[in-house]
């Protein structure tokens, strides 16, 4: 009888240990994102551009913060201003945690988007946002690194054109690793949810 009680006690303790181990595994599972998880992606590794204050910038400058990177241009009639307004709403929703997030706007139209124009346009949505630009060659290289579709569409008059481009943003974690692709036009809530997961 003593042997049976001892065996049952041992089995019970073993079950508890296995259950605890299972709980540990559950608690360490990866976060459930509402946007596209890009963890482990082998491109979108960085950039070398100049911000709207004239300072050279790379992704490493923002280590320790989450980075949201969007490609657009200031004369964009729809996707760009709505994305920037959406990110401004996200920052408000994040409250004090927003200081741990850096939003970057990379222009795909460096011919028209001068440093001065970016300095007026980008911080108008949120003073913490930074505009980035490069030479046409640097811009093309950065777009290629991030697999961003970009195509000029001629307008009716010389010098008037639009730029078709990928609508969406990349998110990097505090270590500078690409983690998410944010879909355009979904509203702030799913973005706030995912950024909080990474924070």
**With the C-alpha atoms ordered 123, 127, 133, 139, is the resulting torsion angle positive or negative?**
negative
CA 157 to chain centre: 36
- 20-26 contact pairs (CB < 8 A, 24+): none
3-50 per-position pLDDT tens digit: 444 444 444 444 444 444 444 444 456 678 999 999 999 999 999 999
Model pLDDT for residues 124-140, shown as the tens digit of each residue: 999 999 999 999 999 99
Contact present, 122 and 132 (Cβ < 8 Å)? no
User: How confident is residue 155, by pLDDT bands cut at 50, 70 and 90?
Assistant: confident
pLDDT above 90 as % of the chain: 79
Buried b (16+ CB within 10 A) or exposed e, 145-184: ebebebeeeeeeeeeebebebbbbbbbbbeebebbbbbee
Is 98 exposed, middle or buried, given 0-12, 13-18 or 19+ CB atoms closer than 10 A? buried
Assess whether pLDDT exceeds 60 at residue 149: yes
Distance between CA atoms of 47 and 64, rounded to whole angstroms?
Answer: 17
Averaged confidence pLDDT in the chain: 88
């Amino acid at each position: 009888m003593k042997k049976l009680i001892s065996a049952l006690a041992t089995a019970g303790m073993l079950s508890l240990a296995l259950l605890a181990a299972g709980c540990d595994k559950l608690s360490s599972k990866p976060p459930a994102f509402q946007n596209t998880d890009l963890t482990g992606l082998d491109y979108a590794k960085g950039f070398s551009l100049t911000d709207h204050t004239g300072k050279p910038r790379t992704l490493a400058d923002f280590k320790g913060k989450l980075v949201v990177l969007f490609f657009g241009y200031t004369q964009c009639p729809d996707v760009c201003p709505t994305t920037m307004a959406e990110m401004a709403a996200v920052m408000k929703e994040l409250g004090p945690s927003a200081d741990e997030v850096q939003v970057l706007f990379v222009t795909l139209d460096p011919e028209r988007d001068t440093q001065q124009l970016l300095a007026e346009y980008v911080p108008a949505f949120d003073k913490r946002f930074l505009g980035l630009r490069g030479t046409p060659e640097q811009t093309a290289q950065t777009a290629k690194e991030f697999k961003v579709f970009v195509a000029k569409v001629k307008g009716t008059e010389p010098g008037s054109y639009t730029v078709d481009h990928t609508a969406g943003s990349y998110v990097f974690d505090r270590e500078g690793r690409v983690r998410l692709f944010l879909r355009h036009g979904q509203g702030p809530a799913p973005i706030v949810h995912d950024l909080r997961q990474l924070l």
